Structure 1
Amino acid sequence: MAKRQTPELTAVSAAGRHSFPPIPSPIVIVPYNMGSNGPTRRLAAAVPNRSVLISGALEHHSSCRKIFEFSISGRPSCGIKPKGMAKSCFSRFQGISHGTVSPLSICRSLSSFNPPRPSASSSLPHPPFSLVLASNCIPSDAPQRSDEWFKLRKDKLTTSTFSTALGFWKGDRRLELWKEKVFSSDVQSAEDSMLKAMEWGVLNEAAAIERYTSITGREVSSLGFAVHSEQKYEWLGASPDGLLGCFPVGGILEVKCPFNKGKPETAQPWSSMPYYYMPQVQGQMEIMDREWVDLYCWTVNGSTMFRVYRERWYWNLIHEILREFWWENVIPAREALQMGRGEEATNLYKPWPTHRQTGLVKFKSCRMASETKLLCREVAGRVEFFDDKL
C-alpha cells in the first residue's frame, strides 16, 4: 500500500503565501462567522474524528477566505458548541503571523498537541501589534488598566501578585492581598509609595518598550490579559507587557521602571535580576506556554536586559503554595461571606503572613536570579552586549 502523503499547511494572506512543515492526521479551519452557526455545527457533527478550528478574522480579506485543510493529531472536538469554539483558547499550534488572520481562535481540544518547530530559514511578516498569538492560553484584547481589564483580573490570581501570595514581603501584604480578593477587588490596599511606583511604571512603559525595540530590533506585540487554558489552572492570569515572536519559539517581554524609593531621576539599571520577580516571570511562561522572558529594566539613566528561561520544577514548587492560598484561603472565605458568615470568613480562612515553604522558595528564587544572564547594558546611550541571544 502506498504511503499516504501528509499535506502541507499553507497560509494565504495579503503578504503572500506561507508554507509550514507537514503535520500528521485530519483537521479543518473554518470562519466562525458564516452567517449562522448551522454550517459549523453540521461540520463538527459530520467529522467527529476531526478537530474544527474557528478562525474569526478571515472575512476581512478576500485572499484569506480559503478554508485550510491539513493534518494534525489531537482529541476530537465533537460536542464542543460553535460559540464555545469561537471563544476557545489559542492552542499549541504552528503560528500564522499576519494581521489579516488575527486573532486565530483555536479550540481547546488541541491543547495537548506539540507542533514541530519552524526551520531557521522560515520567514513570516511580523507587523507591530498584529502578531498572531498561538499558545496554550485564553487571551483577551482588553487594553491594560481598562474597565474590562480590571474585571477580568477580579477573580484571578495574577502573576504580578505571585510574590505577595508566596509570602515574600514583610508585614501584612499577604493578608492585604487576601482581603482584596475576598471582600472586594476594588479595595485599594496599596500604600501611597507603592501607588506612586506603579504610576511611574505605567507612565514610562511605552518609552521603555520603544527603547527595547530600538536596542534589540524585535517587534513587540501587545496582549491585554491571558488566562491559563487548562481548567485546573483557570484561576491564574497574566498581563504581559509584550509578546516576542510566534509560538512556540517566541518569548515574553516584561518591563520594569524602578521608582528608586521616590527618586526615579537618580535610579540606575539593575546589575543583577531581583529575585522577587522570578515568580512573576515563571508564572507568565507557564500561563502563556512560552520558554523565555526578556526582563528589561528601564531608567532615565540607562537600561539593562536579562534573559530568564522557563523552569518547570520551579513552577511545580510555587504552584502548590499559590493553589493553597487560593483554594484554602480565598475561595472558602468568599463562600462563607456569601452565606452571611463574615466572622467565619475572617477567623478560619485568613492566611499567615508567610507560608511554611516561603523560605525555600525565596532561596531558590535568589539562586536562579543570580544565575540569570545579563544580555546587555545601556548607559548614556552606549549599548554593551554580553550575550549573542539578541
Structure 2
Amino acid sequence: MDVKSAFLNGYINELVYVDQPLGFEDPRKPNHVNRLNKAVYGLKQAPRAWYERLRDFLIMQGFKIGKVDMTLFTKDINGDLFICQIYVDDIIFGCTNEKLSHEFGDMMSREFEMSMIGELNFFLGFQIKQVKGGIFIHQEKYCRDLLKKFKMGDCKPISTLMSTNEHLDADVDGKPIDQSNYCSMIGSLLYLTASRPNIMFSVCLCARFQAAPKESHLTAVKSILRYLKHTPSIGLWYPEGANLELLGYSDSDFDGYRVDCKSTSEVSWSSKKQNCVALSTAEAEYIEAYVVCGSVPLLCDNKSAVKIAKNLVQHSRTKHIDIRHHFLRDHEAKGDITITGVRSEEQLADIFTKPLGEETFCSLQSELNVLDWSNFILFGIACGSVTKEPLNEKED
C-alpha cells in the first residue's frame, strides 16, 4: 500500500514557526509567523514525525516493533503470522491468512488516506512474482537500466564473472580512470546483490579499489556487467512450504588478496577481507569459522580447521593464532555450536570467496536458490500457470 501525502499525517512535538506563505498573508498581522501543529513537506522533522505517528498507531493495534529493524512490525493473530514492513510512505504487508491482510488494508484506509492498495509486484527496483508454488524476487528491469546507464546495453554477453586464475591488485602503474564513475558503478552493483548474491565476490573485490581505480579494475567491472547482460532475469526463489533449517557455511580463500596477503572470507552473503594475515590455509579457515560461529551447525571444508576447533590442547603450531579466535573452540566444547566437515564441491560459501569455473558456479548458485526467471516462465507456460508478460520499461 501507498500512503497519500504521508508526511502531512505527522504531529510536531517541537515549537516550529514558518513565514506566512506568499499570497496568503494576513492583512491584519502581516509581520506575524505561523506555528506548525502538523508536519509539512520540506520540514526536516517530517519523516520522523510520520514514522512516530505510524509506529504508535500500529503498536496500539497490537503490533510488535522489530528489535533489529525498527521499520519491521509483526503480530501473532490466533496462530497466524502478520508481517508489516515500512519504507517511508510505502508499506509492504502479508499474512498466512489472506483474510487478515484485507482487514489490515481496511483498517489502514480508515486511519490514513491511501492512493493504492494491491498485490506486491514492484518495490524499490525489485520485481516480485507470486506464483503457485512460491515467490520469485528479481531485478531484471533494474539490471537492464543499469546496463543502459553505463552504456553497456549493446555489450557482448559472457557466461562467467571472472576467470579462475584472475587476481586483481592495486595496479600501481596502470592508467587511472574517472573515480566518480567507477564508484557509481560499484554502488549500483552492490544494490543488485540483494537479489543476486552470486555476484557478491566479484563486486566486493572490485569495490576494494575505489580509492584509486585503474583501467584493469574497470575491465573487471565491465566483465560483471557483461555477465549481467547474459543473465538479466536471475533472482531468488522462495518455494512454498520449504523447511527452514539454519546452516552456516564457513570458507576462506587463503592469501586471496594479493595487495596485503589477507584472506577473503564469506560472512552472511557477503565477501570481505579478514582483519589479520593468516599463515596457512587451516588458520584462514579457522579464523573464518570463528567469525560465523553464531550459526548452528557450522560446515567447514578444511579438516585442519575443524580439528583445531575440536582440540582443546594448545598445539605449538597454533600458538601464533590470536586468542580471540579460540572463542570458536570454547563454544564447540560447551556444545553451543557444532562444527563439522563438508566436501569442497558442496561448500556453498565458495561462491563468495573465490573465482569459480562456470559449471561449479552454476551448481552452487542453484543450491542457493538463485535461479533464472525465464526458466520459470517457460515452465509455467507449459503448465498453464504463468503468462509471459512484456517488461514495462516505464514501470516506476
Rg comparison, structure with higher value: 2
**TM-score, normalization: structure 1?**
0.30
TM-score, normalised by the number of residues in structure 2: 0.30
